[in-house]
């Protein structure tokens, strides 16, 4: 019985140690906040497909936005329309995320092309959106 208790105690100590290391690593890599707003006239039957570094992170539908923390460093943001009935090419923009900074982009249409533009919203407009 004492041996079983000893194994369980060691297992719990190892688990606590690895949890502490994981939390320390997460705290050591602070990131920034990325917000992508989809314009109202994007299309009621279309979504903005957002990829970060080649991985799809969201399909932003009407009335929604992407608002998440991302790790610090250089990232490539790629946007496209889904469904892509016009067979337009996705467009990309590079952002260098600094810890504690907020990056706001707007997903727009122009000449049958979807692209991301850094926000031009005033502080009052951002407050109205809850940003």
Q: CB burial class (10 A; 0-12, 13-18, 19+) of residue 109?
A: middle
Query: Cβ distance 31 to 72 under 8 Å?
Result: yes
The H or E element that residue 61 is part of is none
pLDDT of residue 121 exceeding 90 = no
Query: Cβ distance 32 to 100 under 8 Å?
Result: yes
pLDDT of residue 27 exceeding 60 = no
Where does the pLDDT of residue 69 fall: very low under 50, low under 70, confident under 90, or very high at 90 and above? very high
Q: Name the least confident of 9-18, 49-58, 66-75.
A: 9-18
| pLDDT at position 42 | 74
The mean of the pLDDT values for the chain is 80
Stretch 99-120: mean pLDDT? 86
Q: Name the least confident of 14-28, 44-58, 63-77.
A: 14-28
Give the residue from 35, 59, 57, 56 showing the smallest Cα distance to 48. Answer: 59
Please give the structure tokens belonging to residue 92: 């990309």
pLDDT of residue 34 exceeding 80 = yes
CA distance 84 to 58: 15
CA distance 52 to 55: 5
Most confidently modeled of 3-17, 75-89, 92-106? Answer: 92-106
Give the residue from 126, 114, 127, 125 showing the smallest Cα distance to 41. Answer: 114
């Amino acid at each position: 019985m004492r041996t079983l208790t000893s194994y369980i105690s060691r297992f719990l100590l190892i688990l606590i140690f690895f949890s502490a290391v994981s939390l320390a690593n997460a705290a050591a890599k602070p990131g920034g906040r990325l917000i992508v707003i989809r314009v109202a006239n994007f299309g009621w039957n279309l979504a903005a497909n957002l990829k970060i570094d080649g991985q799809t992170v969201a399909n932003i539908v009407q009335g929604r936005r992407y608002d998440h923390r991302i790790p610090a460093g250089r990232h490539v943001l790629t946007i496209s329309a889904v469904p892509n009935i016009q067979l337009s090419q996705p467009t990309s923009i590079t952002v260098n995320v600094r810890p504690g900074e907020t990056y706001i982009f707007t997903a727009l249409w122009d000449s049958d092309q979807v692209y991301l533009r850094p926000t031009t919203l005033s502080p009052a407009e951002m407050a109205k959106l809850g940003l």
